[in-house]
Amino acid sequence: MKGIVWHGPEEMSVEEVPEPEAGPGTVIVRPTATGICGSEIEGYLGKMGNRTPPLVMGHEFAGTVTEVGDGVDEGLLGRTVAVNPLSSDGTCRLCRAGLTNLCPNRRLVGIHSPGGFAEFTLAPAANVYPLPEGVEARTGALAEPLANGVHAARLGTAGGHPVEHAVVIGAGTIGLMCLQAAVLDGIPEVHAVEPHEGRRNQALALGAKGAHASGEEAQEALEAATGGLGADLVIDAVGAEATRRAALSLLRPGGRAVFIGLHDDDSTLGFHGVVRGQIDIQGSYAYTAADFEQALSWLVDGEAGIGELPPVLPLEDGPGAFADLVRGPSAQIKVFLSGTGS
């Protein structure tokens, strides 16, 4: 079968790869829509230590179940399913505490096993969710990125942290997903910061009260809205040093910054403000099964999305699409690929 193989920084090609075999408790999915994730762009550039070439990436996907392994419900055959690519052992201390996303034995389809940029992909049967009639694969493929947003937004209000004014920095896929999760979680006023005009418009269409071209602009709007205090919550969906600094400067005393973006590793931050402002610094990584299920349910009900869905491109267009995405943001926030036409 064909798959897109990443061989190292900016080296990727479509080639013959071994077809997966369904073992006990697993299914074979023929992906009909696999989204390119921002973390995979960084991975493509060789900036993600958790990806080792040669690798078939692709962890945001939905498709048709073509084969089921021993012990798996045969009713899944032929169904269109969304796939939660993240599995945990379910038995370690972190899993028992509900922190399955942090399980030291976690595995992600597309990182630890070949992913959705291929004609067929192996997935644990427990991780597939049949989509209702009429809901298409591209919608199901958005459950993974939205689950990241659900998780970040929940961490933003966890422990009873009161949030009336929130800011999401970055309106790429993950930023827009964090924004929608924050709005759907009931945060009354969520703003976006995004330099790209098309993406600002998308943020407004998806529920932002304001969309600002810079942190300074957002700061003025927030100060006006909060009597000079600042935001209760800032989610940084970019992860550059500048956006991490902006996140801290937008917060009110006692505010919370949730960091989900992974653009830079090292960042220099002023910590006197963190100490004196009693700022809560919170990382956010991946999602639990409950986050994934919440995300899928909002998508299926049409409460969340990315507006008009872009077309699904053939696998052959994958290497070129990765090379284009490296060049910077565009108004189209998601690229879908599939080998079904191959």
- Looking at the Cβ atoms of 103 and 190, the one nearer to Zn ion is 103
- Looking at the Cβ atoms of 106 and 334, the one nearer to Zn ion is 106
Taking CA atoms, 270 is separated from 137, 216, 240, 267, 274, in Å, by 44, 17, 15, 10, 7
Interface stretch with Zn ion, choices 69-77, 96-104, 112-120, 299-307 (CB under 5 A): 96-104
Tell me how far, at minimum, the Cβ of 88 lies from Zn ion, in Å. Answer: 5
Bridge partners of 61, per DSSP, are 34
Going by their DSSP bridges, the two strands 128-130 and 165-169 should be labelled as: unpaired
Question: Which residue's CB atom is positioned nearest to Zn ion?
Answer: 103
- Looking at the Cβ atoms of 103 and 184, the one nearer to Zn ion is 103
Task: Please select the residue that binds Zn ion; options are 95, 250, 260, 315, rule is CB under 5 A.
Answer: 95
Dist CA 147 CA 286 (whole Å): 7
Interface stretch with Zn ion, choices 40-48, 101-109, 152-160, 295-303 (CB under 5 A): 101-109
Binding-site residue total for Zn ion (CB under 5 A)? 5
Tell me how far, at minimum, the Cβ of 102 lies from Zn ion, in Å. Answer: 8
Tell me how far, at minimum, the Cβ of 107 lies from Zn ion, in Å. Answer: 11
Using a 10 angstrom Cβ sphere, with 0-12 exposed, 13-18 middle and 19 or more buried, the burial of residue 72 is: buried
- Looking at the Cβ atoms of 108 and 269, the one nearer to Zn ion is 108
* DSSP code string of 220-258: HHHHHHTTT--EEEEEESS--HHHHHHHHHHEEEEEEEE
Tell me how far, at minimum, the Cβ of 67 lies from Zn ion, in Å. Answer: 28
Which of positions 64-93 make contact with Zn ion (CB under 5 A)? 88-89, 92
> By CB under 5 A, is residue 103 in contact with Zn ion?
yes
Beta carbons of 163 and 232 less than 8 angstroms apart: yes
Beta carbons of 31 and 318 less than 8 angstroms apart: no
Beta carbons of 321 and 15 less than 8 angstroms apart: no
Tell me how far, at minimum, the Cβ of 100 lies from Zn ion, in Å. Answer: 6
Dist CA 67 CA 54 (whole Å): 25
Q: Which residues of this chain interact with Zn ion, rule CB under 5 A?
A: 88-89, 92, 95, 103
